[in-house]
């Protein structure tokens, strides 16, 4: 019985997959396994998964390549598994569209908590009192459908990019530090550094500017952080 969702685990270590699978199934998740990146891409092309847990270091096709290729077709939340000290890989993973990462060795309970938190935020739908649609000049954010349109054209965002844009847009004109954004958008004990925020802001700007040309909604407040400002037409 699949009540909590279906998760794809991609790792070339059988014992690691078995351990993670055991803990996830205890919480009601259905689990599919892939032993390398090549198999993972094939599975992602054939079916839908609520979340992907993806190891970076794998034979045939590495996790970063899988992340990049997957993001061309799906917006499924992705959690990277990285070895301690692979900071550059983690930053690159965020740039390629990953939503979170967990450093090996890790507690399986911590990983399950990350899974729950990420899926909770992806499935969250605002109540009518908070408004399900935000409209700005040239920009529409639909929270029920989790869709963003710029000048009438849909823009594909990762779950975390959507949440970051939504949070800033709901607080138009207010400046947030990177620490505050980590606290509000990553709503659990996040072990990344402040560059995580910078990376997501950079990707958001790139995706929105490709549709609008020169318009930018997320502004840098030097020495403080970021704010959302309505474009002046």
Cα(55)–Cα(83) distance, rounded to whole angstroms?
9
Centroid of chain to Cα 103: 16
Q: Looking at residue 215, what is its pLDDT?
A: 59
Nearest Cα neighbor of 50 from 72, 68, 24 is: 24
CATH architecture of 6-123: 3-Layer(aba) Sandwich (3.40)
Of 168, 151, 169, 125, give the one whose Cα is nearest residue 207.
151
Q: Report pLDDT for 101.
A: 84
Give the helix/strand (H/E) hosting 168. helix 159-170
Residues 6+ apart with CB under 8 A from 128: none
Full pLDDT tens readout for the chain, 233 residues: 445 789 999 999 999 999 999 999 999 999 999 999 999 999 998 888 899 999 998 888 999 999 988 888 777 889 998 876 566 666 777 778 888 888 888 888 989 988 988 887 666 444 333 457 888 877 888 887 888 988 888 888 888 889 899 989 888 888 888 888 888 887 655 555 677 888 889 888 888 875 545 457 888 888 889 999 875 44
Which pLDDT score, from 0 to 100, does residue 125 have? Answer: 44
Domain with CATH 3.40.50.2300 in the chain: 6-123
pLDDT at residue 104 in the model? 85
**CATH no., domain 133-228:** 1.10.10.10
pLDDT at 29: 93
Distances (CA, A) of 124 to 5, 45, 176: 15, 26, 22
Residue corresponding to tokens 């399950």: 112
């Amino acid at each position: 019985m699949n009540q909590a969702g279906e998760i794809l685990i991609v790792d070339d270590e059988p014992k690691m997959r078995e351990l993670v699978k055991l803990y996830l199934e205890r919480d009601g998740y259905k689990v599919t396994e892939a032993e390398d990146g090549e198999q993972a891409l094939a599975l992602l092309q054939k079916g839908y998964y609520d979340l992907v847990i993806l190891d970076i270091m794998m034979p045939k096709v590495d996790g970063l390549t899988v992340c990049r290729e997957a993001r061309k077709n799906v917006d499924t939340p992705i959690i990277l598994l990285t070895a301690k000290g692979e900071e550059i890989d983690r930053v690159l993973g965020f740039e390629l569209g990953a939503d979170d990462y967990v450093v090996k060795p890790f507690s399986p309970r911590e990983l399950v908590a990350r899974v729950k938190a990420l899926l909770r935020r992806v499935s969250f739908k605002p109540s009518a009192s908070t408004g399900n649609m935000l409209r700005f000049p040239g920009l529409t954010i639909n929270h029920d459908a989790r869709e963003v349109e710029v000048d009438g054209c849909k823009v594909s965002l990762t779950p975390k990019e959507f949440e970051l844009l939504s949070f800033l847009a709901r607080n138009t004109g207010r400046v947030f530090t990177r620490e505050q954004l980590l606290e509000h958008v990553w709503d659990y004990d996040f072990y990344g550094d402040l560059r995580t925020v910078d990376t997501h802001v950079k990707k958001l700007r790139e995706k929105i500017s490709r549709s609008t040309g020169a318009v930018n909604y997320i502004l840098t407040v030097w020495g403080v952080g970021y704010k959302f400002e309505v474009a002046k037409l």
